[in-house]
Amino acid sequence: MLKVPPHQVAGHEAVNGKLGPLVDESGRFYKPLQGDERGSNEVAFYISLSTNSGIPEHIQRFFPTFYGTQLIEASDGSGLKPHLVLEDLARGQVNPSIMDVKIGSRTWAPEASQKYIEKCLKKDRESSSLPLGFRISGLQIFRSKGLGFWKPGKKAAQKLSTEEVKLVLRRFVSSNTLNDLDLEPDCALASTVYGGSTGILSQLLELKAWFEDQTTYHFYSCSILVVFEKELALEGSNPGAQIKLIDFAHVYEGRGVIDHNFLGGLCSLIKFISEILTAPNECKTEVSAKDGQKNLINTDNGVVADQENFVNSGNGVVADQENLINSGNGVVADQKNLTSTDNGVS
């Protein structure tokens, strides 16, 4: 039985009759092949990857397992469509905190079409990609069984300022996200999730070492997915923190040159995370400048809304959508009308 992935944070979602990925109960993730060359590019990349004997095992583990392609009923009701069959990265996760970080200040290849370059360049300039070397394409942070997840709108997440990114990366590994979204995250889980010999930073550094050397692939518009189980971290167990590379519709041949664009962005992300580990307490002073947080305005239910349109799904989670839908607790906000009863932000 195929269903909509419960923990998707970025990309097209298979909801409201739209085309999006599906998962089954055996742990497979079905991603619709994009009809143009992006679909064939991604298949070609996975085939190349699975037959490339030059990629060391400790790097292979950062890629989802590839099971080929398969015709299945598309989520939009359009009938049988070819899908990539991949490992379901959220398989077995109960309440995963997830962050999708699109790496690189440039999401377009030099070889891309002029039209595509212009489109991407505009988005790179409007988002944090250009200044920071990456953008957060989406995320969810587990709060509690009752409150569910904090899930900022995707459009807002992509445009975070430097200080806001620091705040989000700290909040991602903090325990004080229960009752409201604290502007002074405690970073209580930083050493467990980001730190340690198997933590996120170690994995990012392994990936970095590979990118300093490999000249086979250039990854444009590719993301690093960061996942861990917060409840396990809170109780002192291993939270299974891991990174995975995803989205390979814009991978090009490296032709003897390293992927300096991806590597630069990766090093920038590494620097942000290193700073949290070396100075977990500094967040309190750094994030006190509230005027730097225009993209993280709290609405009155303790969540964050895109400043354009959004849907409130009733469980304290807000996501950006084309149309305004209010299915839940009577809260409706738009860019001109952000009300707050909790913390005085309006």
- Residues making contact with a copy of itself (CB under 8 A): 105-106, 110, 125, 130-133, 162-163, 166, 212-213, 215, 255-258, 260-261, 263-265, 267-268, 270-271
Cβ 110 to a copy of itself shortest distance, Å: 5
Cβ 261 to a copy of itself shortest distance, Å: 6
In angstroms, the CA 77 to CA 96 distance is: 29
Nearer to a copy of itself, 28 or 106 (CB): 106
Nearer to a copy of itself, 13 or 286 (CB): 286
Nearer to a copy of itself, 292 or 314 (CB): 292
Cβ 240 to a copy of itself shortest distance, Å: 28
Cβ 257 to a copy of itself shortest distance, Å: 6
Nearer to a copy of itself, 2 or 130 (CB): 130
Cβ 258 to a copy of itself shortest distance, Å: 5
- Backbone angle region of 152, left / alpha / beta, with phi > 0 → left and psi within -120 to 50 → alpha: beta
Cβ 48 to a copy of itself shortest distance, Å: 20
Nearer to a copy of itself, 137 or 192 (CB): 137
Cβ 263 to a copy of itself shortest distance, Å: 5
Nearer to a copy of itself, 19 or 121 (CB): 121
Q: How many CB atoms lie within 10 A of CB 232?
A: 18
Nearer to a copy of itself, 66 or 252 (CB): 252
